[in-house]
């Protein structure tokens, strides 16, 4: 009897239950909306939660349940829900704790979709928000109010790859009886385990590394059973944010290779970051695996790997950034990340364009910042593509500079 498997074995084998009748290894795709009951009493037992089971597609699905149980096991939570997108996971997790008159403290350089939800929709519900430099424990403590109901973190942050000390931040928040939510999308359960560090709720965009193939939009929330139960019955179900059976099956299939995919993403990102760090056309590289990253020591201590995302600032700002991206041949311009293909985007004008310019600058999202999701291609091919695009962008920048000087 194996008492504890390694993470890569768990990814494949946890919650794997061959079908009792057919003995099929792959889980069945059950697209049902309605479920029949032998008696009224048995239906009441399921709806009330006395007995586990499905009663309507908006609140659960057998295929999706296999995925939820697997994600709960991988993240070390008591339970999990799989939902229709990463933003569904983020909004559900926040609304689990927040209502009119409540306050949330959020790490300042956060994903643009999260920022948009908290600045546009949350105020309509009477929810207050403060964006804080969460690398500064004093700043976080000073931001906490009598009505602060949750601390929301993202580490590494999107897109500046700031690393936050989860253990210290969680201890601080818990001393004020404030629960903590962490977006673990960039790391996956393989590279970081927030619940082991005391975090209450973990969210993921399953669209990214967990599925890993760029063909499913999904999200996950993992935490304590009572919280997940509330989210399922009162948020996911009532807001219609459930994940369907087909997409659940695709993620279950994609998950099986997550270990080997992440290994290649990380190895490639290490080589690419070292190349970028030494390039004369780049003023700054943000990658936790580089000793030059200001939180490299913390990353080494808190994470089991440095991930596949690199951000960097080009000399010449926005115009040079546009020229660089437009001259790439292998890397694709895309809003997403975590796919087999190398994907590149300009945060200030793409994923974070909803954030006002002054705030973007304050958060470190400059016009020259580029985010690169390093794919599974040969690392040398990725580097060659970046090199030729950087050379062309630099040549254009110098030509324009000389013409302006005349």
Least confident among 34-38, 265-269, 374-378: 34-38
Evaluate whether 194 touches 202 at the Cβ level (below 8 Å).
Answer: yes
Give residue 243's region: left, alpha or beta (phi > 0; psi -120 to 50). Answer: beta
Does residue 325 have a pLDDT over 70?
A: yes
DSSP string for 38-82: SSHHHHHHHHHTSS---SBTTT--HHHHHHHHHHHHHHT-SEEEE
Question: What is the per-residue pLDDT across 162-184, written as a single tens digit (0 to 9) for each?
Answer: 999 999 999 999 999 999 999 99
Active site (annotated) includes residue 111: yes
Which one of the listed residues 108, 208, 360, 371 is annotated catalytic? 208
In angstroms, the CA 232 to CA 244 distance is: 14
In angstroms, the CA 312 to CA 77 distance is: 34
Per-domain residue ranges of the chain: 7-30+61-255, 258-405
Could you tell me the pTM of the whole model?
0.93
B/e letters for 172-186, b = 16+ CB within 10 Å, e = fewer, are bbeeeebbbbbbbbb
Active site (annotated) includes residue 177: no
β-bridge mates for residue 203, sequence order: 183, 221
Does residue 396 have a pLDDT over 80?
A: no
Question: What is the per-residue pLDDT across 104-146, written as a single tens digit (0 to 9) for each?
Answer: 999 998 998 999 999 999 999 999 999 999 999 999 999 999 9
Does residue 3 have a pLDDT over 90?
A: no
Evaluate whether 282 touches 315 at the Cβ level (below 8 Å).
Answer: yes
In this predicted structure, what is the pLDDT of residue 2? Answer: 47
Active site (annotated) includes residue 208: yes
Report the share of the chain in percent with pLDDT over 90. Answer: 80
Q: Which two tokens stand for residue 313?
A: 């600032």
Which one of the listed residues 109, 165, 183, 227 is annotated catalytic? 183
Active site (annotated) includes residue 58: yes
367 — pLDDT class (breaks 50, 70, 90): confident
Query: What residue spans of 164-208 are helical by DSSP H?
Result: 166-175, 188-191
DSSP state of 315: T
CATH architecture of 258-405: Alpha-Beta Complex (3.90)
CATH 3.40.640.10 assigned to domain 7-30+61-255? The reply is yes
Evaluate whether 76 touches 224 at the Cβ level (below 8 Å).
Answer: no
Could you tell me how many residues make up the chain?
A: 406
In this predicted structure, what is the pLDDT of residue 400? Answer: 65
Identify the helix (H) or strand (E) that includes residue 381.
helix 379-405
| Counts for the chain of helices (H) and strands (E), in that order | 16, 12
In angstroms, the CA 98 to CA 87 distance is: 16
Least confident among 8-17, 81-90, 260-269, 323-332: 8-17
Find the mean pLDDT for residues 222-226. Answer: 97
Q: Considering only CA atoms, which of 222, 251, 214, 90 is closest in space to residue 158? A: 90
**C-alpha 394 chain-centroid distance:** 33
7-30+61-255 against 258-405: fold identical:
no
- CB-neighbour burial class of residue 188 (10 A; exposed 0-12, middle 13-18, buried 19+): buried
HSE toward the beta carbon, residue 391, CA cutoff 13 A: 6
Which one of the listed residues 65, 79, 111, 232 is annotated catalytic? 111
Which one of the listed residues 58, 145, 253, 304 is annotated catalytic? 58
In angstroms, the CA 360 to CA 281 distance is: 23
In angstroms, the CA 118 to CA 302 distance is: 27
For 303, residues 6+ apart whose C-beta sits below 8 A from its C-beta are 163, 187, 191, 192, 288
Least confident among 45-49, 122-126, 363-367: 363-367
Averaged pLDDT score across all residues of the chain: 93
Q: Which two tokens stand for residue 71?
A: 């994600």
Question: What is the per-residue pLDDT across 258-288, written as a single tens digit (0 to 9) for each?
Answer: 999 999 999 999 999 999 999 999 999 999 9
Q: Considering only CA atoms, which of 382, 371, 311 is closest in space to residue 342? A: 382
């Amino acid at each position: 009897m194996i008492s504890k498997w390694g993470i890569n074995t768990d990814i494949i084998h946890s919650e794997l239950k061959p079908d009792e009748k057919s003995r099929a290894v792959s889980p069945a795709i059950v697209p049902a909306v309605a479920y029949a009951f032998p008696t009224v009493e048995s239906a009441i037992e399921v709806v009330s939660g006395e007995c586990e089971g499905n009663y309507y597609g908006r609140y659960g699905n057998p295929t999706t349940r296999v995925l939820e149980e697997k994600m709960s096991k991988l993240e070390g939570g008591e339970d999990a829900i799989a939902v229709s997108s990463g933003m569904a996971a983020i909004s559900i997790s926040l609304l689990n704790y927040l209502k009119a008159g409540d306050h949330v403290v959020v790490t300042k350089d956060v994903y643009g979709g999260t920022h948009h939800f908290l600045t546009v929709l949350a105020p309509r519900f009477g929810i207050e928000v403060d964006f804080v430099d969460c690398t500064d424990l004093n700043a976080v403590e000073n931001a906490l109010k009598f009505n602060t109901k949750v601390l929301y973190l993202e580490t590494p942050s999107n897109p500046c790859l700031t690393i936050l000390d989860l253990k210290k931040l969680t201890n601080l928040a818990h001393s004020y009886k404030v629960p903590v939510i962490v977006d673990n999308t960039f790391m996956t359960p393989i590279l970081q385990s927030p619940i082991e560090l005391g975090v209450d709720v973990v969210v993921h965009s399953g669209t990214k590394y967990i599925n890993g193939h760029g063909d499913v939009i999904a999200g996950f929330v993992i935490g304590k059973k009572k919280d997940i139960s509330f989210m399922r019955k009162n948020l996911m179900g009532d807001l219609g944010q459930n994940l369907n059976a087909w997409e659940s099956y695709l993620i279950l299939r994609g998950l099986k290779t997550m270990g080997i995919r992440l290994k290649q993403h990380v190895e490639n990102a290490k080589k690419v970051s070292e190349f970028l760090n030494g390039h004369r056309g780049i003023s700054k590289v943000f990658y936790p695996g580089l000793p030059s990253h200001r939180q490299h020591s913390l990353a080494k201590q808190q994470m089991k790997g440095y991930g596949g995302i690199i951000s960097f600032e080009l000399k010449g700002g926005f115009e040079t950034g546009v020229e660089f991206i437009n001259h790439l041949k292998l890397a694709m311009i895309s809003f997403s990340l975590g796919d087999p293909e190398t994907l590149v985007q300009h945060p200030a004008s793409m994923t974070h364009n909803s954030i006002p310019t002054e705030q973007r600058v304050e958060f470190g999202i400059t016009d020259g910042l580029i985010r690169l999701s390093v794919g599974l291609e040969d690392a040398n091919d990725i580097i060659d593509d970046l090199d030729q695009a950087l050379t062309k962008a630099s040549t254009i920048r110098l030509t324009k500079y000389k013409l302006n000087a005349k």
